[in-house]
Chain A
Amino acid sequence: MTTPDIAPVAPTAPQAYRQRSPMWFAWQRFSGNKAAIAAGVVLAILILMAIFAPLITPVPPEAQLFLTESLAFPSSQHWFGIDSLGRDFYTRIVYGARISLSIGFAAALFSVLIGIPLGALAGYYGGKVDWIIMRIIELFSVVPPLLAAMLLGAVTRGGYFTIILIAALFGWVQVCLLVRAQVKAFREKEFVRAAHALGASPWYVIRRHLIPNSISPIIVGFVLAIPLAMMLEASLSFLGIGVPPPTPTWGQMINEGIDFMFFYWHLAVFPTAALAITVLATTLFGDGLRDALDPTLKGR
């Protein structure tokens, strides 16, 4: 079916009207949030540092090259000083960002991968499916994540991938609840009913309407799962059941820092500050995204 008399009109018509998709408004709201922008910049710098760690550090993180200068204070050669085992502390902090961020992103990814299908199922089908998933979530809400993670950490003796799995195990709940709420709200919308009335299958409705409309909570859930996973990793490493040494992790360094803090403050200050800044930047960025993508969720 062609209508040649109209075809040439559309492309040549002057762009008097500016296209404003829902994402345009989200960007408008986000760019108005100074704290979130700043946090995003900090986060970007941290990610770049983690990726290009070998390029911006003088030595490998585990090399004990400066044993004679052990515990030296920060200087122009060693910006953050030297640790008790003769390793350049700046290098270890930068490589610590790799562990922290990669665990954060990987765990958040797994959380989203578990949370989306379960949340969509619970929200779309309701009834028994929803009941079972909600009871599982209730179990998770009564068991404190950190204690259970410690127990699991003790069972498995920690390790990089174990930590990611443990963090995802406790991170999916949040994503699942967000997606469930969104799907539940949109399932009753009349455009979904209209699609049903047109003979669309449940899978079509989920794929074409419910998932695209859940993009906002999914992004928000993903970004907010990152700091939680990073905190979990740091906490477990702090207790000595996270990523084992000599891999540099901030939690571990903070734990070691306690013993030295009265005399060698730099060993306590730098990892603490690094962890605080990273977690804070990620959270503020995530909060900003949430406020921008879903103004109704603000402040929750």
Chain B
Amino acid sequence: MPLVEIEDLKVSFSQYGGQVDAVRGVSFTVNEGESLGIVGESGSGKSVSCSALLRLLPATARISAKAIRLDGIDVLKANKDDLVRLRGRAAAMIFQDPMTAFDPVFTIGHQIVETIQAHRPLNKRDALAEAEQLLLRVEIKNARDVLGYYPHQLSGGMLQRAMIAMALSCRPKVLIADEPTTALDVTIQAQILQLIKKVQAEFGMALIMITHDLGVIAETVDRVLVMYGGEVMEQGPVQQIFDAPQHDYTKALLASLKTGFDPSADEDRTATPALELRGLSKTYRVGRRAGLFTNHSEFHAVRPVDLVVPRNRIVGLVGESGSGKTTTGMMAMRLTEPSGGQILVNGTDISTMGPAELKSFRRSMQIVFQDSYSALDPMMTLSQIIAEPLHIHGIGTAREQTEIALDWLERVGLPRNFGGRYAHELSGGQRQRVAIARALILGPTVLVADEPTSALDVTVKAQIIGLLKQLQAEMGLSMLFISHDLSTVKSLTDTVVVMYRGRVVEQAPTEAIFSDPQHPYTRALLDAIPADNPAKRRARTFLSADELAAATPRYTTIQTGLAPNATPQLITIAPDHRVEAIVTT
């Protein structure tokens, strides 16, 4: 008998004006030790199906099924005691956002111990010792200290490890991982995925991996279930799904994973760059309270950065959270005041301009943001939103402004009659299209795109990238594309700049970055990209921050012609290819 058996599961929620069917007739099974991946976009019903398995859905949900069985227990008929046995012991779950998954007022140790004690007759001391062992098994080195920490004292990656330890504490037969790496950085994601696979093998558990990311699927599971709109599109062995997808939706998903490299039109090397940053830096004063007084120290969010965006080119700025990439983008737009350095737009320094002078330059530089929800004013209609730049700069009459706005609505692929709608009536991809129209309506020469696709579903992401690429070519835009995701950058950019802890560590033509990365951090980032086919699965080794620093490349004075210096500096090692390195004698 399979460990998990779901047959014809239907879940609906009652909302304003009727029912919303979240899951419509889903069936699947999981055997002992097997790993199943469920892939689908937001709203496809993948999480809801698994929550139903543990009866975790809110009371407003209506559930019906021919059978939901977990470890031989009929879930829908389970009583209180059965539920305690089901949850934690038959199946344990890890969640998307580790930051909100722990109770903030209790220590990590307390929360693991109470889980152990809920299922096993252990006294407090033994449970605590067990908790420490579990933390060690999920590769937390200072396990003893971590037991006494509160959740807010740990990073997201550490919390997700602790969450896995907690899930393991009662030796579940199946581990359900609901988008366990979506909220994490790429390198951390790779570590967590590898850890999940490791503990799955060690504990002999079955695994249900819920994700929107085919890369995660390719890395972790044996069998795949593709869901869309609350229904199963197709299922089969992972290799078969990747090599011979049957359903159109699966094909579309796979197509978005395969990205070709396609350079922009030829650049004119003699022309003034569209955007140039010279030694741009940002330092924050950080106050630390001590007694009645505050001690100030300096935090270097961005150390002096030099960066050039040539005309008609796309430059990718890549780094993880906290690398300073977004701050750099904001400073380039003069949305965050830089602490030092110059910003040259088409050869003119705008870093010290006053608001009035700056306003005319704003026409030639625009920005698209990450979060399409907050990017549009909820009280304005789409035509008002798109026409806002014309309104601010006093171009044309109100009627003409609306007309131009409607034209742009079409240009970004939305029907003209959307002009009267409000932002909340659109999907994420549609909102991002509107944001792009607003940014481009003034005909800028420079566009800063700050993670414009990171909040979107994969298939939509590909469409938005395509739109940006097309508009870039049509308008001859110079674009600074900020992203945490190297694989997105690969299909779009001409040059890649990698940032790490506020510094540029490497910059090179896109091809060179992917074929010949020099800096250890660039290599780590590339290595962390999930495989695009299960055949390419591999074990990875991860370097700590200290190990990364120790692996900084070294060049001799003869190679570089520079004086020896123990502090890493950017040196040119090939045409257009610069890397942070230490110059030795």
Chain A interface (Cβ within 8 Å of chain B)?
Answer: 1-3, 6, 9-10, 13, 17, 19-22, 28, 189-191, 193-201, 204, 209, 212-213, 215
Contacting residues, chain A, for B438 (C-beta < 8 A): 194
Instruction: Assess the B375–A198 pair: CB atoms within 8 A.
Output: no
Query: In the complex the two chains form, is A198's CB within 8 Å of B396's CB?
Result: no
Residue B425 interfacial (CB < 8 Å): yes
16 chain-A/chain-B pairs, Cβ below 8 angstroms: A1-B400, A2-B403, A10-B416, A13-B417, A21-B422, A190-B371, A193-B367, A193-B369, A194-B438, A198-B388, A198-B392, A198-B393, A199-B360, A199-B363, A209-B377, A212-B377
Rounded to whole angstroms, the CA-CA distance of A3 and B439 in the bound complex is 22
Which among A22, A199, A204 has the highest number of chain B CB atoms within 10 Å? Answer: A199
With A13-B417, A190-B369, A194-B438 given, is the CB distance from A20 to B425 under 8 Å?
yes
In the assembled complex, which residues on chain B have CB atoms less than 8 Å from the CB atom of A215?
379
| Closest residue of A by beta carbon distance from B370 | A190
B362 touches A198 (CB 8 A): yes
> C-beta contact mask, B384-420 vs A, less than 8 Å → 1, else 0?
0100110011001000100110110000000011001
Q: How far is the CB of B395 from chain A (nearest CB, A)?
A: 11
Q: Measuring CB to CB, which residues of chain B are less than 8 angstroms from any residue of chain A? A: 16, 333, 335, 355, 358-360, 362-363, 365-367, 369-371, 374-379, 385, 388-389, 392-393, 396, 400, 403-404, 406-407, 416-417, 420-422, 424-425, 435, 438-439, 442
Set of chain A residues within 8 Å of B416, measured between Cβ atoms: 6, 9-10
Given contacts A1-B400, A6-B406, A190-B375, 5 further A-B contacts (CB under 8 A): A19-B420, A194-B439, A197-B335, A198-B366, A213-B379
- With A190-B371, A197-B333 known to touch, is A212 a contact of B435 (CB < 8 Å)? no
- Chain A CB count within 10 A is highest, among B369, B371, B377, for B377
Contact partners of B358 in chain A: CB under 8 A: 199
Chain B residues near A20: list those with CB within 8 A: 422, 425
Set B376, B406, B420, B421: member contacting A191, Cβ < 8 A: B376
Nearest CB of chain A from residue B253's CB, rounded to whole Å: 28
A199 engages B362 (CB within 8 Å): yes
Chain A residues, CB < 8 A from B375: 189-191, 194
Inter-subunit contact B366/A197 (CB<8 Å): yes
Query: In the complex, are the beta carbons of B369 and A194 less than 8 A apart?
Result: yes
CB contacts (< 8 Å) of B359 on chain A: these are 199
In the complex the two chains form, is B378's CB within 8 Å of A22's CB?
Answer: yes
Least Cβ–Cβ distance between A26 and chain B, in angstroms: 12
Minimum-distance CB pairs A-B, first 9: A199-B359, A199-B362, A190-B369, A189-B374, A190-B375, A191-B377, A212-B379, A190-B374, A197-B367
**Chain A residues near B376 (CB-CB < 8 A):** 191
Beta-carbon contact of A213 and B16 below 8 Å: no
Bound-state CA distance A3–B406 (Å) is 10
Q: How far is the CB of B50 from chain A (nearest CB, A)?
A: 28
Q: What residues of chain B lie closer than 8 Å to A209, measured between beta carbons?
A: 377
The CA-CA distance from A251 to B85 in the complex, in Å, is: 62
**CA of A13 to CA of B355, assembled, Å:** 44
What residues of B have a CB within 8 angstroms of the CB of A213 in the complex?
A: 377-379
CA gap between A10 and B406 in the complex, in Å:
11
Residue of B nearest to A16 (CB): B417
Q: Do residues B362 and A197 form an inter-chain contact, with CB atoms below 8 A?
A: yes
Query: What is the minimal beta-carbon distance from B361 to any residue of chain A, in angstroms?
Result: 8
- Asked if residues B16 and A28 are in contact (CB atoms below 8 Å), the reply is yes
A1 & B404 in contact (Cβ 8 Å cutoff): yes
Closest chain-B Cβ to A30's Cβ sits at a distance in Å of 13
Which residue of chain B has the shortest Cβ distance to A197 in the bound complex?
B367
A193–B362 Cα distance when bound, in Å, is 13
Contacts of A22 in B (CB 8 A): 378-379, 422, 424
Min CB–CB distance B37 → chain A (angstroms): 33
| Cβ contacts under 8 Å, A196 to chain B | 335
Supposing A189-B374, A193-B369, A197-B367 touch, asked if A1 and B403 sit within 8 A by C-beta, the answer is: yes
Nearest chain A residue, comparing its CB with the CB of B441? A198
Tell whether, in the assembled complex, residue A194 and residue B435 are in contact, meaning their CB atoms are under 8 Å apart: yes
Interchain nearest-CB distance for B356 vs A (Å): 9
A53 and B133 CA atoms in complex are apart in Å by 79
Nearest chain-A residue to B393 (Cβ)?
A199
Contacts of B396 in A (CB 8 A): 1
Nearest B residue to A189, CB-CB: B374
Are the C-beta atoms of B392 and A200 separated by less than 8 Å? yes
Output the least CB separation between B127 and chain A (Å).
38
Query: Contact between B392 and A199 (Cβ–Cβ < 8 Å)?
Result: yes
Q: Which chain A residue has the least Cβ–Cβ distance from B363?
A: A199
Pick the contact of A201 from B355, B360, B417, B425 — CB < 8 Å?
Answer: B355
Q: Which residue of B lies closest to A20 (CB)?
A: B425
Most buried by A among B362, B370, B379: B379
Across-interface contacts of A195 in B (CB, < 8 A): 388, 392
Residue of A whose beta carbon sits closest to that of B424? A22
Q: How far is the CA of A13 from the CA of B417 in the complex (A)?
A: 9
Which interface residue of A6, A10, A20, A21 has the most chain B CB atoms within 10 A? A21
Chain A hits for B365, CB < 8 A: 197
Bound-state CA distance A191–B368 (Å) is 10
In the bound complex, how far is the Cα of B363 from the Cα of A191, in angstroms? 17
Cα–Cα, bound, A176→B377 (Å): 22
Please indicate which of the listed interface residues A3, A20, A196, A198 has the most CB atoms of chain B within 10 Å of its own CB.
A198
List B contacts of A3 (CB < 8 A): 403, 407
Contacts of A1 in B (CB 8 A): 396, 400, 403-404, 407
Q: Please report the C-alpha to C-alpha distance between residue A189 and residue B374 in the assembled complex, in whole angstroms.
A: 5
Tell me which residues across on chain B come within 8 A of A10, comparing CB atoms: 416-417
Give min CB distance, A79 to chain B, whole Å. 44
The interface residues of chain B lying within 8 Å CB-to-CB of A201 are 355
Chain B residues with Cβ below 8 Å from A204 are 392
In the bound complex, what is the Cα–Cα distance between A198 and B476 (angstroms)? 20
The chain A residue with its CB closest to the CB of B359 is A199
Q: Closest approach, in angstroms, between the C-beta of B399 and any C-beta of chain A?
A: 9
Complex CA–CA separation, A21 to B355 (angstroms): 34
CB-defined contacts of B367 to chain A, threshold 8 Å? 193-194, 197
Q: Which residues of B contact A198 (CB under 8 A)?
A: 362, 366, 388-389, 392-393, 442
The complex places the Cα of A209 from the Cα of B362 at a distance, in Å, of 19
Q: What's the minimum C-beta distance from B389 to chain A, rounded to whole angstroms?
A: 5
A149 vs chain B, min Cβ distance (A): 35
B160, chain A: closest CB distance, angstroms: 27
Report the bound CA distance from A201 to B358 in whole Å.
11
Highest count of chain A CB atoms <10 Å: which of B392, B396, B425: B392
Q: How far is the CA of A22 from the CA of B425 in the complex (A)?
A: 10
A241 to chain B: closest CB distance in Å? 42
How far does the Cβ of A232 sit from chain B's closest Cβ, in whole Å?
A: 33
Residues on A with C-beta less than 8 A from B425 are 20
Q: What distance in Å separates the Cβ of B442 from its nearest Cβ neighbour in chain A?
A: 8
Chain B residue, CB-CB nearest to A29: B16
| Complex contact B388–A193 (CB within 8 A) | no
For B377, the chain A residues whose CB sits under 8 A away are 191, 209, 212-213
Chain A min CB distance to B345 (Å): 13
CA distance A127 to B333 in the complex (A): 22
| Distance of B60 from chain A, by nearest CB (Å) | 15
Q: Measured between alpha carbons, how far is A1 from B438 in the docked complex, in Å?
A: 18
A197–B360 Cα distance when bound, in Å, is 11
Complex interface: chain B residues within 8 A of A189 (CB):
374-375
Q: How far is the CA of A73 from the CA of B534 in the complex (A)?
A: 91
- Chain A: which residue is nearest B435 at the CB level? A194
Cα of A193 to Cα of B404 in the assembled complex, Å: 22
User: Please, which residue of chain B has its CB at the minimum distance from the CB of A24?
Assistant: B422
A residues less than 8 Å from B439 (CB atoms): 194
B-chain residues with CB within 8 Å of residue A199 when the two chains form the complex: 355, 358-360, 362-363, 392-393
Closest residue of chain B to A6 (Cβ to Cβ) is: B416
Cα distance A6–B370 in the bound complex, in angstroms:
33
Q: Which A residues touch B406, using CB under 8 A?
A: 6
Provide the residues of chain A in CB contact with B392, threshold 8 Å. Answer: 195, 198-200, 204
A28 to B16, CA, bound (A): 9
What CA separation (Å) do A189 and B423 show in the bound complex? 14
Give Cα A204–Cα B393 distance, bound, in whole angstroms: 12
Which residue from chain A places its CB closest to the CB of B438 in the assembled complex? A194
